[in-house]
Chains A and B, each alone.
Chain A
Amino acid sequence: MICLEKKHSKKEVEEALGYAEEFGWKVEVGGGHAWGKIYCPYNEKECRCGEFCISSIWSTPKNAGNYAKQIKRVVDNCTIRNNDSEA
């Protein structure tokens, strides 16, 4: 179980980060102005989603609702492609 030291101040974003964690993503707080980073669990192995395996998370995204959807999409794209590669 991963414990967040700090919650994201935007409710929708915090919820999306929880969604990422459900799929095994690591959520890391800190580093620069951005709020933190998320790491794909298949990172370094045979993940094919590539670019977004490590994504930077804004503390104040322009639109929190959209941003939450974007985070979920990154997670979903990853799981879809991993399922594909297993098929």
Chain B
Amino acid sequence: MKEFEFTLKFSFPDADQDPDEYVDALGEAGCDDAIIGIRQKGRVAFQFTREASDAFSAVTSAIQDVKSAIPHAKLIESTPDLVGLTDIANLMGVSRQYLRKLETTKMNFPQPVHSGKTAIWHLFSFLQWYEESLKKPVNLSIKEIASANMQINIAKEWAQLDHNTQSKMSSLGL
């Protein structure tokens, strides 16, 4: 068993519900390995440190525990996954300037998911590139969790597509 650190963010329809009510249910459902943030109305965030055989099981079992306590809760995102350079710098303990330098000088730097005034990457794409192209060590547990989160977040978005669109998109070969 390994320990994985990740944060889940959920929304739920009944924004006026007293947090103390669902916090009790969450404790009983097995979320006692998470610190629960209840600052935002209609939202609840969980910073988990969960033991599991692998990252994917850690995140999916945590989602199941939350859903069993608050069945109407909808996953917003599992983090870390989508990140900017500042986030990557904080996660890796390097400077943003260093990452910016890599971005501008390394031809094969990963392509962002979104580029604009701020650019966003999947953390996993960055870590994989950093490890393989620069031959530098990365934190394996962060890499594993970043990979699991990317898949879970993409699956969550994909599930929002209607079936017709899903099949059309599949045939585009993106």
Q: Which A residues are within 8 Å of any B CB, using their own CB?
A: 31-34, 37, 40, 43, 50-58, 60-63, 66-67, 69-71, 73-74, 80, 84
Contact = CB atoms under 8 A, between A and B. Distances in A.
A72 to B, nearest CB: 10
Interface of chain B, main secondary structure: mixed
15 contacts: A32-B23, A33-B27, A34-B20, A34-B23, A43-B39, A50-B40, A51-B37, A52-B37, A54-B37, A54-B39, A58-B27, A60-B32, A62-B33, A63-B33, A71-B35
B49 A63 contact: yes
B49 A56 contact: no
Contacts of B38: 37, 54-56
Interface string B10-50: 00000000011101100100001111111110011101010
B67 interface: no
Given A33-B23, A52-B37, A66-B49, 6 more contacts: A40-B39, A52-B39, A55-B36, A56-B19, A62-B33, A73-B47
A43 B40 CA distance: 11
Interface of B: 3, 9, 19-21, 23-24, 27, 32-40, 43-45, 47, 49, 86, 90
Contacts, number: 73
Nearest to A37: B38
Contact of B9 (A34, A51, A63, A66): A51
Nearest to B32: A62
Contacts of B49: 63, 66-67, 69-70
A18 to B, nearest CB: 16
Nearest to A59: B27
A51 B119 CA distance: 23
B23 A56 contact: yes
Contacts of B32: 58, 60-62
